[in-house]
Amino acid sequence: MRTALVTGAGRGIGRGIALGLARAGYAVGLVGRTRAHLDAVAEEISGDVCVAAADLVDATAVLDAVARVEEELGGIGLLVNNAGVIERAELPFVEDDVEDSWRVIEANVRGPLLVTHAVLPGMLARGDGRVLNMNSGAGHRAMTAYTGYAISKGALGRFTTQLHAQYHDQGVRVLDLAPGHVETAMTTSMAMHEGRTEWTPVEAVAELVRAFGDGELDALSGRFVRAGTDTVSSLLEALPQILATDARTLRLGAYGDADPVA
């Protein structure tokens, strides 16, 4: 089913993904908080498009938005959990506002949980579906700031492995995708990117999403890929080694074969 729901589709990476999927022939549901932004993206799409504004941490609003997209598009074959936020200041944890960190964790974890929970029943009923979680290197690499963001992306990575373990045999495929460094309002506001001149093209992100939606990356379900470093062809070339070493998935490193917690 070449239909997709993209959260956070009103601007930035979400907009780029939605436009890329539409160009590839997908019917696209645009979901996010700001109706005006979503409408503007919808006007850029010449194919089938559905707009549903919703606060993604509001369970009722999410259910209503997903139901609208499913009704208008005839179901959702690909879910892209793209919407996300980051702390307002680049600070180590003890100097930061813990309530702001919690705001980030709630948006970046509760949102994907609610949307996926609403979309999954339709996928399971059809025995086919794909869920892509927009992740980050912060989910598996320690940072000196943005504690809530790092925690949220680590949790999202575990969510990906949970969905894969629970629903792979029922036809659902799941992927973590880090977009690299795309030039957006969020990334350019971060001190850590000040002076950056090299950015990941949003088209590279959209192409990986398109390939996953089309089933080309199904063998990587439950794993992590990164735009700007990985391409469809490089991933397919590396696939035998990735599978043989069980790479690109969240786990606790063992000190050896005798490690009792391995």
226-252 core/surface letters (b: 16 or more CB in 10 A; e: else): bbbebebeebeeeeeebeeeeebbbee
Q: Catalytic annotation on 149?
A: yes
R_g over Cα of the chain:
18
Bridge partners, residue 50, by sequence: 29
* Structure-block tokens of residue 200: 């990941």
Distances (CA, A) of 14 to 117, 174, 200: 20, 18, 14
The catalytic residue among 146, 149, 167, 255 is 149
Look at strands 3-7 and 78-81 and give their pairing: parallel
Other Cβ atoms within 10 Å of 18 Cβ, number:
33
Please give the positions annotated as active site.
149
